[in-house]
Amino acid sequence: MDNLPKKTAKELDYGKAYVKYQPFRDLYDLKTALKRGTIFKALDKPKSIQLL
**pLDDT of amino acid 28:** 95
Q: Which residue has the higher pLDDT, 52 or 37?
A: 37
What Å distances lie between residue 50 and 7, 21, 29, 30, 41, CA to CA? 47, 28, 18, 18, 16
- pLDDT at position 52 over 60: no
pLDDT tens digits for range 10-50? 777 778 888 888 788 999 999 999 999 899 898 888 765 55
Domain ranges for the chain: 21-45
In whole angstroms, what is the distance from residue 19 CA to residue 42 CA? 15
pTM of the model: 0.47
**pLDDT of amino acid 49:** 57
Give the up-direction half-sphere exposure of residue 38: CA atoms within 13 A in the CB hemisphere. 11
